[in-house]
Amino acid sequence: MTITAPSRVHDLVDPAILYWGTPVVLVSTLNADGTANLAPISSAFWLGHTATLGFGLASHSLANLQRTGECVLNLPGPDQVSAVDRLALTTGAEPVPPWKAANGYVHSRDKFDRAGLTPVPGRVVAAPLAAECPVAMEATLEAVHLTDHAVVQVTVEQVHVHPSIRMAGSERRIDPARWRPLIMSFQRFFTLGDEVHPSRLAGIDEEAYR
């Protein structure tokens, strides 16, 4: 019997970046002078109430997080895409780090103002929430792992959401049919499309994860 290997269906490629599509997070932190910094990132995932975030080593937000031990993770939707894009190529760091300066980044002192977003006070951390973002999570720093980037773990302490994305009839649940995250994929902005299939995982009550 001869066994024929299945023919290859993939091309072997070497992408410079692996931005497969993740939600944009606007990270607010406090600067040393008490003003707020706000930076878009898209390297973020959630495990229980721990968020794991990826920052470039020259990020001013990273320095603020390490100094203060806290931040707010604001999740914009498609309505905030212009605000997010106004923050692109800006940094709270002064002077602007050499790689960023060479690639067109500029220093911005008041990034809430630049973005056109409204700072509102948090409940447990000093960094402000962005009022226009449907989700804002106050978080405290757990760990920083330094590689060629900084892999940062924070614990989500308080979750604030706009009433419009809450599940009707539930005190705690978010309605995924109403929540539309802003997704960055290979340096372009998208959002989620329609639900494509029921999930068998939904047979487990969300409360079982508590």
Instruction: Kindly state whether residue 181 participates in binding ligand FMN, applying the rule CB under 6 A.
Output: no
Indicate which single residue of 65, 75, 93, 125 sits in contact with ligand FMN (rule: CB under 6 A).
93
Nearer to ligand FMN, 5 or 18 (CB): 18
Instruction: Kindly state whether residue 91 participates in binding ligand FMN, applying the rule CB under 6 A.
Output: yes
Structure tokens, 63: 């320095």
Instruction: Kindly state whether residue 39 participates in binding ligand FMN, applying the rule CB under 6 A.
Output: yes
Instruction: Kindly state whether residue 43 participates in binding ligand FMN, applying the rule CB under 6 A.
Output: yes
Instruction: Kindly state whether residue 54 participates in binding ligand FMN, applying the rule CB under 6 A.
Output: yes
Instruction: Kindly state whether residue 36 participates in binding ligand FMN, applying the rule CB under 6 A.
Output: no
CB of 194 to ligand FMN, least distance (A): 23
Instruction: Kindly state whether residue 24 participates in binding ligand FMN, applying the rule CB under 6 A.
Output: yes
Secondary structure of the chain as H, E, C letters = CCCCCCCCCCCCCCCCCCCCCEECEEEEEECCCCCEEEEEECCEEEECCEEEEEECCCCHHHHHHHHHCEEEEEECCHHHHHHHHHHCCEECCCCCCHHHHHCCCEECCCHHHHHCCCEECCCCCCCCEECCCCEEEEEEEEEEEECCCEEEEEEEEEEEECHHHECCCCCCCECCCCCCCEEEECCEEEECCCCCCCCHHHHCCHHHHC
Indicate which single residue of 60, 71, 73, 136 sits in contact with ligand FMN (rule: CB under 6 A).
60
Nearer to ligand FMN, 54 or 78 (CB): 54
Instruction: Kindly state whether residue 50 participates in binding ligand FMN, applying the rule CB under 6 A.
Output: no
Backbone angles phi, psi at 188, to 5 degrees: -135, 150
CB of 93 to ligand FMN, least distance (A): 5
Instruction: Please report, as ranges, the residues that interact with ligand FMN according to CB under 6 A.
Output: 24, 37, 39-43, 54-56, 59-61, 84, 88, 91-93, 105, 184
